[in-house]
Amino acid sequence: MSTGIKNLVQTLDSVDFLKMDRRTFMKAVGFLGASTFLSSFQTEIVNALEFAETKIVWLHGSESTGCSESLLNAGNPDIIQALTKLNVNLAYHETLLAQQGIFVDGKLANTSELNSEILLEDLIKEGKYILVIEGSIPNGPKGSGRYLVLGNKTFKDIIGEAAKNAAVIVAVGACACWGGITSANSAIVQDTDYRGVGFLKTDAAKGILNELNIDKPVINIPGCPPHPDWILLTIGAIILGKIRVPDDLTVILDKYNRPKVFYPPDHVVHDNCPRRGYYDQGLFDDQAGGSNCLWKMGCKAPYAHGDCAIRKWNGSVSVCTQAGPCIACVEPGFPDSSRPLYVEAENKGILLGENVGTIAKVAIGAAAVAAGVHAVRRMKGE
């Protein structure tokens, strides 16, 4: 554990967890991560949730299940530990369900213990659950939603029914947030008409809930896939009452409904990239296998708003840019907004309007003062 995190833990030790204001809580979960936060406040969390149980209904639309796999890869806590500590009843998750289907041993199963369709219907009737949606929702063809049918019911209709009785909706992954890869420009995109829960790319008017005339608060956790911490800590904050829905959302979320603590408006992956020093010196790779900045290979880290390089992945040991260019999978409009993925994005205007070649020349000419973009800023008087 780093010295900074140790100091924060020591500071928080003197704060009553149950009386911790929401600002302090969000700061804590943002800096500490799921494992440190849950272990540091395990006793308080158990006491807070002793007589409470939160149900989660997790639905899968058009996706690869990569977001669930990311969550299952969480190491400390793993998914079972997190659900136990937060007293969560993962009541419905198609990938993890123990139900066997509509028919069992050739006979129609008419109980929720064996028939997942009946289980989902019962849960929707009961209401008061956190609805997690993974994957996009096809609206086509022609508004029918029949490009994805489950048990002779369109996924669009299932979302409509489940959303109405949900306490809050959490869209997990780029596809659920704004359509993701399924809504990328193609010859058939108008026919399939895949939508995100609250957005289609950057357009909030075209989210599937708006199409269904449902007004419900939505929290977006984008990424392809999102970090396990982003999912666990957001759901944990809701369960523990540290995010009041909908009262706190306008303060906690950005304009694309992303939690600012994980997707900071004033911070990008580039800021803490392990290759940042090479960028500052104007040193750029133009083929795979090097150790310099990957901007010329299409890296989109300078406009990807996420704490990936601080939080890191795989037990806090790695980040995407250690292996290859960032593709800004946390941004609305992904992947079209990042295309072409591995080609230098000169038209983005994110490097102070300067051509990367110009920045490289400035850096080389001012190596003694670690030039790069910082030198350009000084030259511009910024």
Task: Tell me which CATH code domain 3-252 carries.
Answer: 3.40.50.700
- Tell me whether residue 40 is exposed, middle or buried, using C-beta atoms within 10 angstroms of its C-beta: 0 to 12, 13 to 18, 19 or more: middle
Q: Running DSSP on this structure, what letter comes out for residue 183?
A: G
Q: What stretches of the chain adopt beta strand conformation (E)? A: 54-60, 88-93, 103-104, 107-108, 129-134, 137-138, 149-150, 153-154, 166-172, 194-195, 218-221
- pTM (2 decimals)? 0.81
- Who contacts 112 (Cβ-Cβ below 8 Å, separation ≥6)? 99, 118, 119, 122
User: What topology does CATH give the domain 269-380?
Assistant: Cytochrome-c3 Hydrogenase; Chain A, domain 2 (4.10.480)
The strand pairing partners of 54, in sequence order, are: 88
Placement of tokens 């840019």 in the chain: 321
Going residue by residue through the chain, which has 382 residues, state the pLDDT in tens, using 9 for 90 and above. Answer: 455 555 555 555 555 555 566 666 666 666 666 666 666 665 666 555 555 678 999 999 999 999 999 988 877 667 777 777 778 889 999 888 876 677 777 777 788 888 888 899 999 999 999 999 999 999 999 999 999 998 889 999 999 999 999 999 999 999 999 999 999 999 999 999 999 999 999 999 999 999 999 999 999 999 999 999 899 888 888 887 777 777 788 889 999 999 999 999 999 999 999 999 999 999 999 998 999 999 999 999 999 999 999 989 988 889 999 999 999 999 999 999 999 999 887 655 444 444 444 444 444 443 333 333 433 333 333 3
In DSSP notation, 271-323 reads GG-TTHHHHHTT-B-SSTT--SB-GGGT--GGG----HHHH-BTTTTB-GGGT
The strand pairing partners of 203, in sequence order, are: 200
The neighbour count for residue 297, using CB atoms within 10 Å, is 19
Domain ranges of the chain: 3-252, 269-380
Whether residue 85 contacts residue 195, with contact meaning beta carbons closer than 8 Å, is answered with: no
